[in-house]
Amino acid sequence: MKKKILVTGGTGFIGSHTVVELQNAGFEPIIVDNLSNSSADVIDGIEKITGVRPKFVELDCNDMPALRALFLEEGNIAGVIHFAASKAVGESVEKPMLYYRNNLVSLLNIMDLMNEFGTKGFVFSSSCTVYGEPDVNPVTESAPVKPALSPYGNTKQIAEEIIRDASVAGVGYKSILLRYFNPIGAHPTTFIGELPNGVPQNLIPYLTQTAMGIRKELSVFGDDYNTPDGSCIRDYINVVDLAKAHVKALDRMLKDESDVALEVFNLGTGRGVSVLELINTFEQVTGVKVPHKIVGRRAGDIEKVWGSVEKANEVLGWKAVETLGDTLKSAWEWQLKLREKGLM
């Protein structure tokens, strides 16, 4: 029988790609999402890719009675991957209470229910944001966690601490914290991808919308950083590669490959790429120009961060394989698809 995996936030960007990989790997994902930042159409996209329509329950993870009813109904949930969270850094500064409630109450609810119902494995979506401005790059999992620069970042740090404390105290399930670097791109079929609400805050959707003519110009936030070309450096990881790491993490816990109650892994490519380099690569692989101008620095931006991914390579047997060029091409093809569907 297929193992049931609850995927909270399963209609979101990383969640939807992970549901596809779970189905490909023979799991039975059950999607839970409140659709606050995604659409139920994503389920159609997943079905087109895999030929199987995943179960979807519209539910807010802050709603404990509804969540408990789902655990009861399903009976034997082997693992939970918890993506559901609010993720806009700027909004979190304006609405901190919303962020603490959305991102932490839901976590507590899920952790309680996993304990109560005997779930075996828990995968939590964390972020390289916990490293702040690292002292050394590539940054390893043992690097110190720096004070968060936003309530959003703080919710990720607090969530990690909650999960760690619960593991130390002894819970019935194992946990893996996945610290993502910058997830980009879309599924190569263009049936699923990123669907930002309103004006995008992240680089790639802003860039592809500019390339399409929806936005006039991309602002490059600063060219006076201490980096080779002066623009900020990040580790851009293909979303399908990233999704596959979740399956590896789940497998590790469900197959009892480790006795450790809690493990942490960086998920990136191990390579740092500057904003200007990225624009260049995009223009090369797509043949489309991206009008851009240099503007002042964005408050709160990290100068440079990229991940050491040796631990994930060795312990999870996972490695990012997609090139930056192919990943940017997939983001562009997704943007073209959105236009074709009249969504952009």
Site string for ligand UFG, 203-242 (x = CB under 6 A): x--x-----------xxxx----------x-x--------
Looking at the Cβ atoms of 100 and 221, the one nearer to ligand UFG is 221
- Any contact of residue 129 with ligand UFG (CB under 6 A)? yes
Of 220 and 249, nearer to ligand UFG (C-beta) is 220
Which CB atom, from 29 or from 153, has the smaller least distance to ligand UFG? Answer: 153
| Cβ–Cβ < 8 Å for 22, 5 | yes
Task: State yes or no: is 152 an active-site residue.
Answer: yes
Q: Rule CB under 6 A: is residue 182 a binding residue for ligand UFG? A: yes
Least Cα distance to 211 among 303, 144, 278, 161 occurs for 278
Number of residues that bind ligand UFG (CB under 6 A): 20
| CA dihedral over 153, 155, 157, 159, signed as positive or negative | negative
d(CA 121, CA 81): 8
Contact between 246 and ligand UFG by CB under 6 A: the answer reads no
- Kindly tell me which of 232 and 242 has the beta carbon lying closer to ligand UFG: 232
For residue 201 the two structure tokens come to 């805050």
- Near ligand UFG by CB under 6 A: residue from 24, 189, 201, 313: 201
Return the range that interacts with ligand UFG (CB under 6 A); candidates 35-43, 50-58, 123-131, 140-148: 123-131
- CB of residue 40 to ligand UFG, shortest distance in Å: 24
Nearer to ligand UFG, 168 or 199 (CB): 199
Q: Which is nearer to ligand UFG, 146 or 311 (CB)?
A: 146
Q: Which of 275, 276, 316, 331 binds ligand UFG (CB under 6 A)?
A: 275
Segment near ligand UFG (CB under 6 A), from 37-45, 133-141, 161-169, 197-205?
197-205
CB of 195 to ligand UFG, least distance (A): 15
Per CB under 6 A, 280 contacts ligand UFG = no
Instruction: Please select the residue that binds ligand UFG; options are 17, 82, 87, 248, rule is CB under 6 A.
Output: 87
Q: Is 195 in the site for ligand UFG (CB under 6 A)?
A: no
Residue nearest to ligand UFG (CB): 232
Nearest-approach distance from CB 209 to ligand UFG, in angstroms: 10
Question: Does position 301 bind ligand UFG by CB under 6 A?
Answer: yes
**Which residue number, 77 or 186, has a Cβ lying nearer to ligand UFG?**
186
H/E/C letters for each residue in the chain? Answer: CCCEEEEECCCCHHHHHHHHHHHHCCCEEEEEECCCCCCCHHHHHHHHHHCCCCEEEECCCCCHHHHHHHHHHHCCEEEEEECCCCCCHHHHHHCHHHHHHHHHHHHHHHHHHHHHHCCCEEEEEEEHHHHCCCCCCCECCCCCCCCCCCHHHHHHHHHHHHHHHHHHHCCCCEEEEEEECEEECCCCCCCCCCCCCCCCCCHHHHHHHHHHCCCCCEEEECCCCCCCCCCCEECEEEHHHHHHHHHHHHHHHHCCCCCCCEEEEEECCCCCEEHHHHHHHHHHHHCCCCCEEEECCCCCCCCECCECCHHHHHHHCCCCCCCHHHHHHHHHHHHHHHHHCCCC
As measured in angstroms, the least distance from the Cβ of 262 to ligand UFG is 21
Question: Measuring CA to CA, how many Å separate 236 from each of 91, 180, 181, 272, 273?
Answer: 23, 9, 6, 8, 7
Choose, from 99, 131, 152, 180, the residue flagged as catalytic: 152
Which residues are annotated as catalytic? 152
The residue ranges that bind ligand UFG (CB under 6 A) are 87, 89, 127-129, 153, 182, 201-203, 206, 218-221, 232, 234, 275, 298, 301
